[in-house]
Chains A and B, each alone.
Chain A
Amino acid sequence: MLERTDVTTDPDNPDPDPVPAAASHEPLTHDVDEARVARPSPVDVVVVEGESALAEMLEYSVSNAGRTALTFRAGHSAIEYLAGDLPVGHAPVVLLDLDLLGTEGFLALKHILAARPSLRVIVLSAQGAERDQIRALRAGAVDYLVKPLSIPILVAKVERLLADRTP
């Protein structure tokens, strides 16, 4: 079983670094720096989600399908990674919890997609207003899913996008 000992909820460090869920199912017990060094490449799915159970379910499904997931529990580090640190040529599927980015969620989405237009972003949000969905899709998201989510549907959408990417 995957262990997530390196994700912290320490109030002094509210913006934990990303942690990869490796395709092999060896427990990840190394610290953050080691995780960064040992990050599998390429990353297939980037999960930006504050709800830990949902993020873990996505990681589990992705890694059981032999793919690699990278999870962020805070918005700012996710933006930095997607818009800047993401290796050139990588175009992972991104599950982006828009609510995690606060009031500037749409701006952040536009910023990420302007920097990396090849990303396939599925937006997750508790806000189901049509106006929000249209804004996200116009910004370049491939889908917009309203919480509470159906987990199998989300997993199926991710698998579809990953399959489309496979040459």
Chain B
Amino acid sequence: MSATVLAFIAAGQMAFFVAVFLMLVAYRLADGRRKRRRHEQTERLARVMMDVLENRVPGERLTRVIERSRGNVVVTVLHQYASQMRGAPWERVVNAVRQSGWYGRFVRSHGRSRLWWKRLAAARLLSIAAYPEDLELARALVTDRHPAIKVAAIQVVRRIRDAAVLETVLLEAIAARPVVRRYLFDTVVSVREALVPVLAARLAAAGSTDELRALVTLAGELSAVEFFDRLVAYAGHESLEIRVAVARALSSYPHPRTEAALTVLLQDGEWQVRTQAASSLGVIRAVNARSALDAALRDGDWWVRLRAGIALRQLGPSGTEVLHDVQAGADRFAREMARYVLGLTNEAVADYLT
């Protein structure tokens, strides 16, 4: 290769590195300017928002500042304050935001965008500033295929207690994967007054086993007396999964009928149901179920015996007395379990419940 060609390649490489260096410098400068501008906008917006929250200036001032700010900056600042403010002051801010032409433009352009991050920004905005007229878009975003958008949009239920949206959220939660389902359930649980009638109606008309299991689980977490009769009725369901879910849910409903239903489930053909029933009897401290738990200590399944033993410990002195009797009894398996459970510290027993 001739010296000319090598010099040519070296010059090319040098030019390339110089170009990259210049681009990096230009990027840093542009980025710095963008951050400064963003910071200035954030500061100005936050200042005016604080003034509106404290009723020092009219909402129109905020409306004007919003019109001159970037959409994402507005959404971010609104979110910062929404987590700290509520009631009339926050509604003054929301009114000012909605009166700006920006709100309508932003929600229209982002809410139906093909780009997920734009839909996410619209969902975040709706979650803190939605009015009933935004319900249709909110429902569309709740059913979005992107989990982040779904999770953001579902926060709308905190502002608008709409039964149709809540039911949509419930159905989405049931169809979602466990982590997303957990998140959706946590959100709807925060609006329990509105959720209870919706869930009660859905519980009465549940379709698939999966749906019913999820609804029973949620009813157990809400532990509202409105679900009690329905849960007790489902204790005799043909599906193993439902019976297990009911046995778990009933641990939130201390009642003589719960005790009776759990005592029946303690005789179930499936060990999973018997295990959960024994556990729940302990949680409700069903002292009248001592003899049933005593019998469960002789169960053929180790898990049932363990949970029955732990439940007896939870009953207090009367349950411990049963364990001492069993420890001196003839049944080898029951004797070993009673000895094991009696040897546990109170902290260890508490650990079994978590």
Which A residues lie at the B interface, using CB under 8 A? 1-2, 25, 51, 53-54, 56-57, 60-61, 64-66, 128, 146-153, 155
**Any A CB within 8 A of the CB of B344:** no
Which B residues lie at the A interface, using CB under 8 A? 192-193, 196, 222-226, 228-229, 252-256, 259-260, 284-288, 316
B235 to chain A, nearest CB (A): 16
A128 touches B193 (CB 8 A): yes
B254 touches A53 (CB 8 A): no
B225 interface neighbour in A60, A146, A148, Cβ under 8 Å: A148
B288 touches A1 (CB 8 A): yes
B285 touches A53 (CB 8 A): no
29 examples of A-B residue contacts, CB within 8 angstroms: A1-B288, A2-B256, A25-B287, A25-B288, A53-B225, A54-B225, A57-B225, A57-B254, A60-B256, A60-B259, A61-B254, A61-B284, A64-B254, A64-B284, A64-B285, A128-B193, A147-B193, A148-B193, A148-B222, A148-B226, A149-B224, A149-B225, A150-B192, A150-B222, A150-B223, A151-B253, A152-B223, A152-B252, A153-B223
- Asked, given contacts A2-B256, A148-B196, whether A53 binds B228 with beta carbons under 8 Å apart, the answer is yes
Apart from A64-B285, A64-B287, A148-B224, list 12 A-B contacts with CB within 8 A.
A1-B259, A57-B255, A60-B254, A60-B259, A64-B284, A146-B193, A148-B192, A148-B193, A149-B224, A150-B192, A150-B223, A153-B223
Q: Would you call the interface of chain B mostly helix, strand, loop, or mixed?
A: helix
Give 8 closest A-B pairs by Cβ, nearest first.
A148-B224, A1-B256, A64-B285, A61-B254, A148-B196, A151-B223, A54-B225, A57-B255
B343 to chain A, nearest CB (A): 25
Q: Which residues on the B side are within 8 Å of A66 (C-beta)?
A: 316
Docked Cα-Cα span, A60 to B283, in Å, equals: 13
Docked Cα-Cα span, A147 to B192, in Å, equals: 9
Docked Cα-Cα span, A64 to B253, in Å, equals: 13
* CB-CB nearest in chain B for A60: B254
B346 to chain A, nearest CB (A): 16
- Asked, given contacts A60-B254, A64-B285, whether A150 binds B193 with beta carbons under 8 Å apart, the answer is no
A2 to chain B, nearest CB (A): 6
B229 to chain A, nearest CB (A): 8
A133 to chain B, nearest CB (A): 13
A37 to chain B, nearest CB (A): 24
B261 to chain A, nearest CB (A): 12
* CB-CB nearest in chain A for B317: A66
- Asked, given contacts A51-B225, A64-B284, whether A151 binds B254 with beta carbons under 8 Å apart, the answer is yes
